[in-house]
């Protein structure tokens, strides 16, 4: 029997289900070519600097193999590999039982909980970004190869959403900075087999991160043309009430740069005092008192000083929830197959850090 392809071990064609039936997915498309051309604009030379300020240069010769595989890797990394499961919940088990074998890993949970759709919800966007940032700092190597691929797929969608909607670019810049720093350290330690996959793939991913950082750096905010009521037309007490709703000091400073009136309101001592009291305890105040020139406490400087030593409270519009009765992790509005008589009494909101702690053994 003759072979039907160049390699009898080939997995065959990739098929996609559409409204008109099943169609064969072409490996290369004009959109893919445009993405590859954009990646080709980046220099193949990546400088990686360690803590000892010694620089290790990966020149174009070292990245030649990565350049040849760019189209193939770019296509693989941009497929919808995160939709392995349709359920939006996962059973969290840490040991084998008669009913279940093995245990649930961080990578498995990351693949199952549909974070790709969650970033389209403004209530969950900051939550997902914060979770990706925590994974980038300490848990990237604990993800499986499929989960790492899914991680960068979701990150790509986040960057594209920020570029289109211009929503909270500062948060994404912090995420990419932490991720690039982590990758530089891990690539230097590749001899210890700390990364899943070929080193050239990770260099390509690092180049993509540098491209994203450059795009966000050049991002220009669109001016809204509106002849109706604007923020500056609101009364002072309403503007002051808006500032008191913020829980992040950088958001207050950013809003204070809009108009002179908002700047005056953003420098109010009482505003920063309330912010410090919300995030920190009084015992922490006593250790970091910062008096001003007039002898008063400079609450604004104290807030940023305390932020360096203590974590601040996190606020999210929506979070993952954990059912203590069923040991199931899920998005609250999607629900889960709970067997408790009163499911609401068993629910517990899960912060990004708590999500990672659930899978530490």
Mean pLDDT: which of 35-49, 123-137, 228-242, 316-330 is highest?
123-137
Q: Residue 34: pLDDT above 60?
A: no
Q: Are residues 165 and 207 in the same domain?
A: yes
Residue 291 lies in a domain: yes
% of the chain at pLDDT higher than 70? 70
Cβ–Cβ under 8 Å, residues 139 and 104: no
Segment among 97-106, 228-237, 338-347 with least mean pLDDT: 97-106
Instruction: Name the more confident of 17 and 219.
Output: 219
Query: In the predicted model, what is the mean pLDDT of residues 311-324?
Result: 85
Segment among 40-44, 140-144, 353-357 with least mean pLDDT: 40-44
| Per-residue pLDDT band at 224 (split at 50, 70, 90) | low
Residue 61 lies in a domain: no
Residue 55 lies in a domain: no
Q: Residue 49: pLDDT above 50?
A: no
Q: Residue 118: pLDDT above 90?
A: no
The Cα 250–Cα 252 span in angstroms is 5
Segment among 4-18, 67-81, 102-116 with least mean pLDDT: 67-81
Residue numbers of the domain that contains 151: 114-218
Q: Are residues 203 and 261 in the same domain?
A: no
Q: Are residues 331 and 303 in the same domain?
A: no
Q: Residue 81: pLDDT above 50?
A: no
Residue 283 lies in a domain: yes
Residue 71 lies in a domain: no
In the listed set 286, 309, 332, which residue is the last one of a domain according to the structure?
A: 309
Q: Are residues 121 and 189 in the same domain?
A: yes
Q: Are residues 127 and 201 in the same domain?
A: yes
pLDDT tens string 253-308 = 988 888 889 999 999 989 998 998 888 887 777 776 767 666 678 888 888 888 88
Q: Token pair of 43, please?
A: 């220099």
Predicted local confidence at residue 86, as pLDDT? 52
pLDDT tens string 227-263 = 667 777 888 899 999 999 888 888 899 888 888 899 9
Predicted local confidence at residue 69, as pLDDT? 53
In the listed set 198, 218, 238, which residue is the last one of a domain according to the structure?
A: 218
* Among the listed residues 297, 289, 294, 293, the one whose alpha carbon sits nearest the alpha carbon of residue 272: 297
The Cα 345–Cα 266 span in angstroms is 40
| Average pLDDT, rounded, for the chain | 76
Split into its structural domains, the chain has a count of 3
Cβ–Cβ under 8 Å, residues 154 and 115: yes
Segment among 172-176, 229-233, 353-357 with least mean pLDDT: 229-233
Q: Are residues 199 and 128 in the same domain?
A: yes
% of the chain at pLDDT higher than 90? 14
Residue 205 lies in a domain: yes
Predicted local confidence at residue 175, as pLDDT? 92
Predicted local confidence at residue 103, as pLDDT? 62
Residue 37 lies in a domain: no
Residue 57 lies in a domain: no
Q: Are residues 344 and 293 in the same domain?
A: no
Q: Are residues 335 and 256 in the same domain?
A: no
Q: Are residues 152 and 122 in the same domain?
A: yes
Q: Are residues 326 and 279 in the same domain?
A: no
Cβ–Cβ under 8 Å, residues 52 and 80: no
Residue 352 CA to chain centroid, in angstroms? 11
| Per-residue pLDDT band at 136 (split at 50, 70, 90) | very high
User: Do the strands 21-24 and 15-18 form a parallel or antiparallel pair, or are they unpaired?
Assistant: antiparallel
Q: Are residues 302 and 277 in the same domain?
A: yes
Helix (H, G, I), strand (E, B) or coil at 70: helix
Q: Residue 10: pLDDT above 60?
A: no
Q: Are residues 268 and 206 in the same domain?
A: no
| Per-residue pLDDT band at 93 (split at 50, 70, 90) | confident
């Amino acid at each position: 029997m003759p072979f039907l392809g160049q390699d009898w071990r080939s997995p065959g064609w990739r098929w996609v289900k559409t409204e008109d039936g099943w169609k064969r997915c072409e490996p290369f498309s004009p959109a893919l070519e445009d993405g590859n051309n954009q990646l080709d604009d980046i220099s193949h030379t990546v400088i990686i600097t360690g803590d000892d300020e010694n620089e290790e240069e990966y020149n174009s010769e070292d990245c030649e193999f990565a350049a040849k595989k760019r189209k193939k890797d770019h296509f693989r990394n941009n497929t919808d590999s995160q939709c392995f499961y349709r359920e939006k919940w996962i059973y969290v088990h840490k040991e084998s039982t008669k009913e279940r074998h093995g245990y649930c890993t961080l990578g498995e949970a990351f693949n199952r909980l549909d974070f790709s759709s969650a970033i389209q919800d403004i209530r969950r966007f900051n939550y997902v970004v914060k979770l990706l940032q925590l994974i980038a700092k300490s848990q990237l190597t604990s993800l499986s190869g499929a989960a790492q691929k899914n991680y960068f797929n979701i990150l790509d969608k986040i960057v594209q959403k920020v570029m289109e909607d211009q929503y909270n670019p500062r948060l994404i810049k912090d995420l990419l900075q932490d991720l690039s720093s982590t990758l530089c350290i891990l690539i230097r330690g590749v001899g210890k087999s700390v990364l899943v996959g070929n080193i050239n793939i990770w260099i390509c991913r690092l180049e993509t991160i540098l491209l994203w950082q450059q795009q966000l750096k050049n991002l220009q905010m669109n001016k809204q043309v509106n002849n109706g009521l604007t923020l500056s037309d609101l009364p002072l007490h309403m503007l002051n009430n808006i500032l008191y709703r913020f829980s992040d000091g950088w958001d207050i400073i950013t809003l204070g740069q809009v108009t002179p009136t908002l700047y005056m309101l953003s420098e109010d001592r009482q505003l920063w005092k309330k912010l410090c009291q919300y995030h920190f305890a009084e015992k922490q105040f006593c250790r970091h008192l910062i008096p001003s020139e007039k002898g008063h406490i400079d609450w604004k400087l104290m807030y940023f000083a305390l932020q360096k030593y203590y974590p601040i409270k996190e606020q999210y519009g929506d979070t993952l929830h954990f059912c203590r009765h069923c040991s199931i992790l899920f998005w609250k509005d999607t629900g889960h197959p709970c067997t408790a008589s009163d499911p609401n009494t068993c629910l517990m909101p899960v912060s990004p850090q708590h999500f990672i702690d659930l899978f530490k053994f």
